[in-house]
Amino acid sequence: MTSRPPVAAIVSLGLTQIIGYGTLYYSFSILAPDMARDFGWSVDWVFGLLSASLFVSGLVAPFAGRLMDRFGAGRVMTLGSLAAALSLIICAVAPHRGVFIAGLLLTELSSNLVQYGAAFALLVEIRPREAKRSITYLTLIAGFASTIFWPVTTVLHTHLSWQQVYLVFAALNLVLCLPLHAWLSLYGRGGRRADESASGSAQVVTGLLPAAYRQQGFALMLIGMGLLSFVNTALLFHMVPVLTGLGLGGTAVLVATLFGPAQVLSRFTNMIFGKNLGALQLAVLTAVFAPLGILVLTLTYPFVPGAMLFAIVFGFGSGLSSIVFGTLPLALFGSEGYGARQGQLTLVRLAASALSPFGLAVILERTGPDMVLWSLIGLGLVALLFFLALARLGRVALQPA
């Protein structure tokens, strides 16, 4: 039995995650204005369609998770790459609004099959006991998706229409992601080259919580992750308008650019120094960063160094939350049924991602940025309380009868 993480699988999935998030998610904000112009919509309406598609795809996520448990995550990701390419083609050639909306919905549905939840499930299948480290390494690589695809999309769009850019992105999913996912499926559940030790009892992760505590623990985890996702997504989506409203003016964009590098730094730091940090401890630590960072901004604006510290602290917590999303359900509930649990977590996260930008926009318009910050601090502290309760449940479960 080997103790090494599956390097080839991690690197391959890192590439497909960068392409998956870059083509299906990060490129949208750059191309949306031209989409709106071509179909006669406002830009807000186009983003509203994206939010609705995210919400609907979240409803399907638990079903996708069960498919991964039954047929193997690799096979589902292979199908997802085909669906992703098809969805981008449909959007690109859409003759009218209805076809475009259908393509956008398929884009978000296919993202459930190829992005983090599915990739984490595949790493758990390939080598369960090394999945915690593997997930950390994967999130470090995939953290460069926005850094790569925002400029790549911008450069392509200076020479190509948004439809042509989407056709290029469809080709990337077909030519690179689909073959890699098909190859990786051979090593996952049901694959011909699946390592027997990875599927045997010696490699199964049993989970920290015994059966009597699992229902309560899962509810605490879902609510905590949902609230944390709401806070992170809401402020990330509106970061520049909020910072501008707080009086930072032209420096708002500069401050916001620190968020991405801080995400990558947090994952690198955890990879180097967090080897002995348990998943529950990491979850509690992650939940501290969001309200702490926002509190720093609230107490220091419009002082630019304070805003920069906020962006770093907030980005640090957001980067760790992706690791917690993958490692916490594995640590608490084990490797059996991991795909289904990831599907339920994805539902909660996507629902929060779909609703939070709209909810925060309403608060921002009616009350101003100060109330936005205090509201998010409050929600972040509530999320922290749920993770603290989950940590206490873990300690109780470990106590001898």
- Which tens digits make up the pLDDT trace of 253-306? 788 778 878 888 898 888 888 777 888 999 999 999 999 999 999 999 888 999
Q: Are residues 230 and 119 both part of a single domain?
A: no
Domain range enclosing 363: 211-398
Q: Are residues 186 and 258 both part of a single domain?
A: no
Identify the domain boundary among 199, 228, 254.
Answer: 199
| Inside any domain, residue 206 | no
Query: SS3 for the chain, per residue?
Result: CCCCCCHHHHHHHHHHHHHHHHHHHHCHHHHHHHHHHHHCCCHHHHHHHHHHHHHHHHHHHHHHHHHHHHHCHHHHHHHHHHHHHHHHHHHHHCCCHHHHHHHHHHHHHHHHHHCHHHHHHHHHHHCHHHHHHHHHHHHHHHCCHHHHHHHHHHHHHHHCCHHHHHHHHHHHHHHHHHHHHHHHHCCCCCCCCCCHHHHCCCCCCCCCCCHHHHHHHHHHHHHHHHHHHHHHHHHHHCHHHHHHHHHHCCHHHHHHCCHHHHHHHHHHHHHHHCCCCCHHHHHHHHHHHHHHHHHHHHHHCCCHHHHHHHHHHHHHHHHHHHHHHHHHHHHHHCCCCHHHHHHHHHHHHHHHHHHHHHHHHHHHHHHCHHHHHHHHHHHHHHHHHHHHHHHHHHHHHHCCC
Give residue-wise pLDDT tens across range 267-282. 888 888 877 788 899 9
Q: Are residues 99 and 235 both part of a single domain?
A: no
Whole-structure pTM value: 0.87
Q: Are residues 189 and 221 both part of a single domain?
A: no
Residue 120 has a pLDDT of 95
Q: Are residues 48 and 129 both part of a single domain?
A: yes
Q: Are residues 193 and 342 both part of a single domain?
A: no
Q: Are residues 163 and 23 both part of a single domain?
A: yes
CATH of the domain at 391: 1.20.1250.20
Identify the domain boundary among 172, 199, 226.
Answer: 199
Q: Are residues 319 and 342 both part of a single domain?
A: yes
| Inside any domain, residue 182 | yes
| Inside any domain, residue 110 | yes
Q: Are residues 156 and 249 both part of a single domain?
A: no
| Inside any domain, residue 205 | no
| Inside any domain, residue 215 | yes
pLDDT band at 3 (very low <50, low <70, confident <90, very high): low
- Evaluate if residue 345 carries a pLDDT over 70: yes
Q: Are residues 173 and 95 both part of a single domain?
A: yes
Q: Are residues 105 and 228 both part of a single domain?
A: no
Residue 82 has a pLDDT of 97
Number of structural domains in the chain: 2
